[in-house]
Structure formats: structure tokens, C-alpha cells
Chain A
Amino acid sequence: MAADQGVYLYAVTRDEGEEPDGLEGVVGAPVGRLAHRGLAAVLSPVSLREFGEEALRRSMEDLAWLEETARAHHRVVEAVARLRPAAPVRLVTVYTGEAQVRELLDERHDAFDAVLRRLSGRWEWGVKAYAVPAAAEQHPASAEQHPTERPTERPTERPTERPAEDPAERPAEGSAGRPVERSGRAAAGAGAGSGGGAPGAAYLNRRRAALRGREADWRRAAEHAQAVHEALMGVAVDGRRHRAQDPQLSGRREQMVLNGAYLVDEGRAAEFTRVVEEVAGRGVAVELVGPWAPYSFAALDHDGEAACGDGS
């Protein structure tokens, strides 16, 4: 093996047979395997000139390079995971040689074994929920599912919210003895009505309404997202809530309120998708993707995660 040749690791599986023929990894290299004590590391050779620490620091900022690498990584992991339980390792996990990989399989044998047992017969599903603005939700298309839900929802919450919605109902406190509330409200009302009287107050009132509306939308969506998450957890073996992606990444204008990953038994996939359909539309738009290899659930315990180096 040449001095600048490294090993790119995709996943760890049980040593139960060959990888699919002609499988291509990153930079088109043929995918091979390294078996050790009943485990098999799925890997391909890479040049450390391209995958060494220094080079990676630059490449990881190159979106085109990253996309290509991620696709190849994903392709290999999926192909292997279709055959047998596989624990995917993190993107761009590079070792300096096969000896180092063998060491990993040796040292972390029991942990990998436990992870593979846990992942066996289970797949990961991704569920993303987006906030739907209140106005859009009144749409008949989404209203049909739960026509009675809105008005009766969380009746206990109303009383505490009401006063905040109409501050003019509150007594004026510590305001220099003037009936501030009334004059403020009257001025605002006049401004909003005529558009001429008090433009400043009218502006503030508009802003307040907008802020309120947005906060209420957001809170409602977050509650729905939590409800969606709990409903899904009822069927899933395990679940993670990842950080919500910003619109640039998600490609959707609505705010993402749930970015969840769920580990689901093969036999309960239909049930899981049914739950997703049931919860969709109630204040959130829901996107279901998968099933795919359980990336989010393959990490070894924190002290010895599989990705223990990007080569050097």
C-alpha cells in the first residue's frame, strides 16, 4: 500500500457475506471489506492527499465536493444496509490503514455488536414538520380532517392568554396618574381607523398585532410539533429531535418546527406512516422521508465514537 493511501470507512456490519458486486464508493473506488472477529468493516481505499486532515479542512467547505462525497457514502451504506444490519459511521471517516480499522473493530467489538443488535430489523424515518400560518390553515383542504379540533383545543389556555391580547383591559399601573390606557387606546383606535390621527400609535399597534400573531403561530406550531413527536414515539423504538433546519437548507419557506429521526421496526412501518398521516395538517405541514439506514442511531457510546479520527 502506498504511503499516502488511506481507508475510508462507510459502515460496520456483521461478517455474514460479501458486499454487493461492483459497488463504487467515494471517488469511484471499489468497495471492499475487512472482517475481524465476526464483524466486517465496509471500506474503500482513498488517497490521503485528498482525504487527509489538511485537505479535508478545505474540501469540507466545498459544497459540490461534499455533496458528491455524501452521495457516494449514502449509496454504499444503503446498499449494505439492504443486505444486513449496518451501523453507518459518520461522513468522511478516514483511517490511515487497514491495521487501524482492525484495531477499531477489536477495541469496540462489543459496542458495535450491541449497536447492530439494536438496529437489526429496524429502519430510520425522518419526519419534518413546518409551521403553517394561521390564515393558511383555515383552508378547507386542511380543515376537513379535524373540523371540530380548533375551537375546543386547549380550553384551559385561553383565560391566561386573553388579558395579554387586549392590554387595554388591564388597569394602568405606575403611569403618573393619567388614564393612559384609555387615551392610548383611543388614539390608536383613531389612528388605525382614519389612518391620519396618530400614525405613530397606529404603527405600534400594527407591529404589536403582527408580533402577537407570529408568536401565537409559533407557539401553536411548537405545541403541535411536540404532539407529533410524542405520537410518533408511541410507535417508534427510539427517536431524536435534530436541530430545525433554516429555510435555505430545507428549501421551504415555512419555519421548520420539528426535525425528527425515528427508529422503527420493519413490521411497524405501515403503522408509523399512518400516524404521520393522522397528525399532518393540524397546524403543521409534515414531511416523511425514509426508510433509510439508521444513521441517527448508530453512534457508539460517547467515549468511543466510531469516528475517532479523520486520518492525519
Chain B
Amino acid sequence: MTEWTDRQAVRRGEWRLETDADSVQRDLSRLVLTLVELIRQLVERQCVRRMDRGELTGEQLEAVGLTLMRLEEAMAELCERFGLSPSDLNLDLGPLGTLLPAD
């Protein structure tokens, strides 16, 4: 019934997945980094919560803080290498809002 070829549909539908090798790699690394960043932020929040409750000793606090800080730096490096900006790591989850809080 429709006269469109798949190719045209891909070009016209901006939300469809591009399937050439470069963009697959980029999209995949973006997805992986997004998940890593989500987990990193969750851990960070959990640490802040435990810090507030006084559940961490001074050394624990320092160790965990350092780790998270280095992770953040590593994330920034990785993003740069893949040409991604922090906002690229934020997925729109529809009614739930965005995956990561807007900074």
C-alpha cells in the first residue's frame, strides 16, 4: 500500500536507528556510558545518604569520595574520547522524565 522504501523511511524518521558501523559503535558506547553514569550517580547518592546518617568512618568517607571523584574524571575522559557531552548520556524515559537529573 505504501510506496516508501525502507531507505526513505529511515531518512524521514529521525528517531529510527542508524545502522552504519560508525553510528552503531557510537550509540552503543553512549548507551554503556549512560548506564555506568547512572550507577555512579546512584552510588554517589547512597554515599551521601550514608554520610548524612553517620554510617561511614572518616577513612571510609575519604576512600569512597576519592573513588567517586576518580570515576567522575574517568567518565569525563571517556565522554570526550567518544565525542559525547553529559547531556548525551541522559535518556528520556517518557512519563518518568529523564534518566539522570538535569545538572
Contact present for A208 and B69 (CB under 8 Å) = no
> Is chain A's binding surface mostly helix, strand, loop or mixed?
helix
Proximity string of chain B (48-70) to chain A, C-beta cutoff 8 Å, 1 when within and 0 when not: 10011111111001111111110
Q: Judge if A114 is at the interface, Cβ distance under 8 Å.
A: no
Proximity string of chain A (133-177) to chain B, C-beta cutoff 8 Å, 1 when within and 0 when not: 000000000000000000000000000000010010011111110
Do A246 and B54 contact each other (CB < 8 Å), given the known contacts A200-B65, A214-B101?
no
Residues from chain A with Cβ under 8 Å of B68 in the complex:
200, 203-204, 207
Residues from chain A with Cβ under 8 Å of B27 in the complex:
none
Do A204 and B61 contact each other (CB < 8 Å), given the known contacts A58-B4, A167-B52, A211-B48?
yes
Q: Which of B9, B53, B65, B101 contacts A203 (CB 8 A)?
A: B65
Given contacts A173-B53, A178-B57, A244-B97, 8 further A-B contacts (CB under 8 A): A61-B12, A170-B54, A172-B54, A180-B54, A201-B61, A201-B65, A202-B65, A246-B92
Q: Judge if B45 is at the interface, Cβ distance under 8 Å.
A: yes
Contact present for A175 and B57 (CB under 8 Å) = yes
Do A200 and B48 contact each other (CB < 8 Å), given the known contacts A62-B13, A183-B58?
no
Residues from chain B with Cβ under 8 Å of A181 in the complex:
54
| B residues lining the A interface (CB < 8 Å) | 1-4, 9, 12-16, 44-45, 47-48, 51-58, 61-69, 92, 95, 97-98, 101-102
- Give bound CA distance, A149 to B54, whole Å: 35
Contact present for A200 and B64 (CB under 8 Å) = yes
Q: Judge if A291 is at the interface, Cβ distance under 8 Å.
A: no
Contact present for B66 and A203 (CB under 8 Å) = yes
Residues from chain B with Cβ under 8 Å of A61 in the complex:
12-16
Contact present for A167 and B97 (CB under 8 Å) = no
Residues from chain A with Cβ under 8 Å of B1 in the complex:
49, 52, 54-55
Q: Judge if A63 is at the interface, Cβ distance under 8 Å.
A: yes
Contact present for B48 and A180 (CB under 8 Å) = no
Proximity string of chain A (204-216) to chain B, C-beta cutoff 8 Å, 1 when within and 0 when not: 1001100100100
Proximity string of chain A (183-202) to chain B, C-beta cutoff 8 Å, 1 when within and 0 when not: 11001100000000011111
Give chain B nearest CB distance to A15 CB in angstroms. Answer: 35
Do A164 and B52 contact each other (CB < 8 Å), given the known contacts A65-B12, A184-B58, A199-B69?
yes
Residues from chain B with Cβ under 8 Å of A188 in the complex:
61
Q: List 19 A–B pairs whose Cβ atoms lie within 8 Å, in order of A's numbering.
A: A49-B3, A54-B2, A55-B1, A55-B2, A58-B4, A61-B15, A62-B12, A167-B53, A167-B54, A170-B52, A174-B55, A175-B56, A180-B58, A184-B54, A187-B61, A198-B65, A203-B65, A203-B68, A211-B48
Contact present for A204 and B51 (CB under 8 Å) = yes
- Of chain B, the residue at the smallest CB distance from A243 is B95
Contact present for A201 and B12 (CB under 8 Å) = no
Give chain B nearest CB distance to A6 CB in angstroms. Answer: 13
Residues from chain B with Cβ under 8 Å of A54 in the complex:
1-2
- Give bound CA distance, A61 to B92, whole Å: 16
Q: Judge if A69 is at the interface, Cβ distance under 8 Å.
A: no
Q: Which of B9, B44, B61, B95 contacts A184 (CB 8 A)?
A: B61
The listed residue with most B CB atoms (<10 A of its CB), out of A164, A208, A255, is A208
- Give bound CA distance, A247 to B68, whole Å: 28
Contacting residues of chain A (47-64) with chain B, CB-CB under 8 angstroms: 49, 52, 54-55, 58, 61-64
- Give bound CA distance, A64 to B8, whole Å: 14
